[in-house]
Amino acid sequence: GDDKQAPPLDCRELRGGIYRDDAWVRSPLQPTVLTSTVDQVGSRLLSRGYGVSNRNRPIHAALTAHDSLIILDEAHCSKPFSQTLTAVKRYRGDTWADEPIESPFNFVQMTATLPGDVGNAAFTLDEQLDYAKDRLLQQRHGCAKPVQLVQAVGAKGKSLAVKLAKELVEKAKELAANHGCVRIAVIVNRVAIARAAYELLKDKHDTSLMIGRMRPLDRDKLTGELQTKFRSGSNAEFATPQFVVATQCMEVGADFDFDGMVCQCASLDALRQRFGRLNRLGNKPHARGFIVAAEGDALPISKLNDEKPADSIYGNALAETWHWLNSVSTDGTVNFGIKPMDRLVADQNCEKLSAPPPDAPVLMPAHVDMLCQTSQEFRPEPNIAWYLHGRHRGMPEIRVCWRADLDMANFDPAKRPNVGYWRDAVAACPPSSAECLSVPLPFFKKWLAGENLVDDTGDVLGEQAEQEDIGSSKAKKLVPGRCALVWRGSRPKRTGSHSSGDATDRHPGFLIREDQANGLRPNDTVVVPAEFGGWSQFGHFPAAPPEPVSPNEWRLNDESAEGKTNVGQTDISDGNCNPLATIDVADAAYCQSRARTILRVHPKLIV
């Protein structure tokens, strides 16, 4: 092109929660490599680019769908998007297009667990040639990964999480004490089990907890810390064993390498992904692991019913996998090495052993005709998220962030807080995705009603879960008067006869309380005063302070308080630090998402 300053190859990162640089769209002639997410690429491919203006959507769609190669990593996690890519490729071809476009469009699926319908389209290694050129590759594929099968007797019903967590932790300690393992992972299927195992380990051992339900800012920081300890090829040495407890979020993404692993039983494809991070480089001959199945999960084959799957995440595949592993084990041990496991499944129909994947809706020509209208959208129009992640079978979610600078002086559950001040404080630093936690909407409604929750969900998209209407729960209301601000964004201040003159003109946010919880909509952004807590029930915030017992536990001594501090309260005036200030990460999130710095000055933000 004419741009002499353009690099030979442009490389950009495109994902949510960070400042987006759209310089890559400046020219269709510029060779570019984008590292991105399914949401960012998929939404652009379907002319509904997230964060892209209507006038620019066709440009982003053209650059994504023409003269492009999309490499879909961990494709087993993105079957709906793979189906959508196949439909897009078909509609670009001679069969459907009135004016076929000659520019190429292809996609490649990369996965360690191939689906059964791939056929001859799979590209695999030439073992004789590739192993001769790369000895490390041969070492990684051929190494042994002995995994012992253990059943947690008595782990069923209401005691399943507690007894299973105890058994998992005992096996993790056994790996450290008897087998010399120092980098040990405990991977489970439920957030509640992960928390229980973490609590059993953290006081006496160096332990980290990683679950999917974390703020992006916290997750990025924690991932960096874990990479230092557990990444492949790390030379870090430890005097004591290092543990990490995680959910399914550990199965993909980060390049971790453990020499000890304890897994809760899951479907075979999930277990192969997990044990792919055991002895990843094949240079730890002492590496080994355990698979622990709760008695309540290991149902007899005769009791499995396809109409009523035994597990909300893995269906009947969990129990089927457990029985199959026992049938192929030697003295209760199975080799999960890549080549040994390939030999075990070579003649096995693995359909019943794999988790049932979600499907995308069929992308019809009429849908394509609607989506290509970008100047004015059709109403209703196809739900883009379904084409990227499948029809969501689980609970709708909202985004929740915590702020410490909202006025809570002398909070009285019977009185309405200063909503106008709340709106202005939030508008000064609007919420960004990096500080927000995705929370199931029914969970938030229960919490708003004063209940304390136990999260028994997993960390996979589309998990089937029962929903309970607000007010139907019989749980005791422990904390009355919880409230929050529903944030609907800022808009320019109106002037003239149509302006009301109050803050609502500029910031269309409103207060939500227990009796108004049904007014919340999926994908709403909700701002919660830090004094109400909730973070330890909804997700995991590393190094977070204990949740306050009541909104007035930490109190700012101001004129309205008349200089009095009640029993059970901590005065945070006169330079004392507010423990809740560490929960508020709005400044850092604002900088990351907008590439601009903001500094909020408030007594309650003193750390």
Where residue 500 falls among pLDDT bands split at 50, 70, 90? very low
Where residue 393 falls among pLDDT bands split at 50, 70, 90? low
**473 exposed, middle or buried (CB, 10 Å; 0-12, 13-18, 19+)?**
middle
| Alpha carbon distance 215, 230 (integer Å) | 21
| Average pLDDT estimate for 166-184 | 96
Are 417 and 511 spatial neighbours (Cβ–Cβ below 8 Å)? yes
| Average pLDDT estimate for 258-272 | 95
Co-location of 284 and 426 in the same domain: no
Q: What is the pLDDT of residue 370?
A: 92
Q: Tell me the percentage of the chain whose pLDDT exceeds 70.
A: 83
Task: Report yes or no on 387 lying in a domain.
Answer: no
pLDDT in tens, 330-354: 999 999 999 999 999 988 888 899 8
Range with lowest mean pLDDT among 13-22, 29-38, 308-317, 563-572? 563-572
Task: Report yes or no on 373 lying in a domain.
Answer: no
**383 exposed, middle or buried (CB, 10 Å; 0-12, 13-18, 19+)?**
exposed
Residue 5 has pLDDT above 80, yes or no: no
Residue 232 has pLDDT above 60, yes or no: yes
**Contacts by 58-66, CB closer than 8 A, 24 or more apart:** 58/372, 58/374, 59/25, 60/25, 61/374, 62/28, 63/24, 63/25, 63/28, 65/92, 65/105, 66/101, 66/103, 66/105
Residue 491 has pLDDT above 70, yes or no: no
Task: Report yes or no on 314 lying in a domain.
Answer: yes
Handedness of CA 397, 398, 401, 407 (dihedral sign): negative
pLDDT in tens, 526-579: 999 998 899 988 999 998 888 886 676 655 544 444 444 443 444 444 445 678
Residue 513 has pLDDT above 80, yes or no: yes
Q: What is the pLDDT of residue 569?
A: 47
With tokens 């589309």, the residue in question is 462
Q: What is the pLDDT of residue 505?
A: 47
Co-location of 316 and 417 in the same domain: no
Task: Report yes or no on 500 lying in a domain.
Answer: yes
> How many other CB atoms sit within 10 Å of the CB of residue 297?
23
Average pLDDT of the chain?
83
Task: Report yes or no on 590 lying in a domain.
Answer: yes
With tokens 């009603």, the residue in question is 449
Q: What is the pLDDT of residue 350?
A: 85
Q: What is the pLDDT of residue 259?
A: 95
Range with lowest mean pLDDT among 264-273, 361-370, 404-413? 404-413
Domain hosting residue 239, numbered range: 139-353
Task: Report yes or no on 377 lying in a domain.
Answer: no
Among 296, 322, 353, which residue terminates a domain? 353
Higher pLDDT, 393 or 498: 393
Q: What is the pLDDT of residue 421?
A: 86
Q: What is the pLDDT of residue 559?
A: 43
Co-location of 448 and 584 in the same domain: yes
Where residue 200 falls among pLDDT bands split at 50, 70, 90? very high
| Alpha carbon distance 127, 140 (integer Å) | 12
Co-location of 158 and 282 in the same domain: yes
| Alpha carbon distance 282, 294 (integer Å) | 30
DSSP of 312-370, one letter per residue? TTTBTHHHHHHHHHHHH-BTTEEE--HHHHHHHHTT---GGGS-----PPP--HHHHHH
| Average pLDDT estimate for 359-376 | 90
Among 115, 148, 181, which residue terminates a domain? 115
Co-location of 471 and 596 in the same domain: yes
Q: What is the pLDDT of residue 115?
A: 65
Co-location of 587 and 518 in the same domain: yes
Co-location of 345 and 402 in the same domain: no
pLDDT in tens, 53-98: 889 999 999 999 989 999 988 777 788 999 999 999 999 888 887 8
Pairing of strands 525-529, 397-403: parallel
What are the φ and ψ backbone dihedral angles of 192, each rounded to 5 degrees?
A: -60, -40
Task: Report yes or no on 374 lying in a domain.
Answer: no
Co-location of 436 and 494 in the same domain: yes
pLDDT in tens, 415-453: 777 788 888 899 999 999 899 999 988 889 989 888 766
The structural domain count of the chain equals 3
Q: What is the pLDDT of residue 57?
A: 92
Residue 388 has pLDDT above 80, yes or no: yes
Co-location of 111 and 143 in the same domain: no
Q: Tell me the percentage of the chain whose pLDDT exceeds 90.
A: 42
Identify the CATH number of the domain in which residue 251 sits: 3.40.50.300
Range with lowest mean pLDDT among 10-19, 110-119, 252-261, 414-423? 110-119
Task: Report yes or no on 121 lying in a domain.
Answer: no
Residue 215 has pLDDT above 90, yes or no: yes
Co-location of 80 and 163 in the same domain: no
Handedness of CA 528, 530, 531, 535 (dihedral sign): positive
| Average pLDDT estimate for 466-479 | 50
Where residue 586 falls among pLDDT bands split at 50, 70, 90? very high
Q: What is the pLDDT of residue 493?
A: 55
Co-location of 204 and 339 in the same domain: yes
Range with lowest mean pLDDT among 23-32, 279-288, 309-318? 23-32
| Average pLDDT estimate for 197-218 | 94
> How many other CB atoms sit within 10 Å of the CB of residue 189?
28
Among 320, 353, 386, which residue terminates a domain? 353
Averaging pLDDT over each range in 24-28, 257-261, 393-397, which range is the top one? 257-261
Expressed in angstroms, the distance from the first to the final Cα of the chain is 52
Co-location of 155 and 302 in the same domain: yes
- Going along 223-281, which residue ranges are E strands? 242-246, 260-264
Q: What is the pLDDT of residue 390?
A: 87
Q: What is the pLDDT of residue 198?
A: 96
Where residue 264 falls among pLDDT bands split at 50, 70, 90? very high
Where residue 237 falls among pLDDT bands split at 50, 70, 90? confident
Q: What is the pLDDT of residue 289?
A: 97
pLDDT in tens, 267-284: 999 999 999 999 999 999
Helix ranges restricted to H, 506-584: 535-538
Residue 595 has pLDDT above 50, yes or no: yes
